[in-house]
């Protein structure tokens, strides 16, 4: 019986993706290996996008449940600052 591998966390997938990008950017991989890394990178990118979309949906549901949904654009400069209501 095959053992199923536990899905990677977002952070693990992103770290692996960054490592793949570094390997590909170095440009010293054989073609077959580069293609395999590229394919793995595409898969990891899709997994990360799916995890982010799922997290965004959960946040929206939680905000709707609290009764005060208001979407604001994310601004890295003001992240962490709380807006006075």
pLDDT of 78 higher than 90:
no
Instruction: Please choose, from the candidates 71, 51, 52, the residue with its C-alpha nearest in 3D space to the C-alpha of residue 60.
Output: 71
pLDDT digits (tens, 9 = 90+) for 41-71: 999 999 999 999 998 888 888 777 666 666 6
Give all domains of the chain, ordered by start, each with its CATH number: 10-64 (1.10.287.1040)
Q: Return the number of other C-beta atoms located less than 10 Å from residue 47's C-beta.
A: 18
pLDDT of 33 higher than 80:
yes
């Amino acid at each position: 019986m095959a053992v199923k591998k536990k899905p990677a966390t977002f952070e693990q997938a992103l770290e692996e993706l960054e490592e793949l990008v570094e390997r590909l950017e170095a440009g010293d991989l054989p073609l077959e290996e580069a293609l395999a890394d590229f394919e793995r990178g595409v898969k990891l990118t899709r997994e990360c996008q799916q995890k982010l979309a799922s997290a965004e949906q959960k946040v929206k549901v939680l905000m709707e449940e609290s009764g005060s949904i208001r979407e604001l654009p994310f601004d890295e400069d003001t992240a962490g600052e709380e807006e006075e209501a």
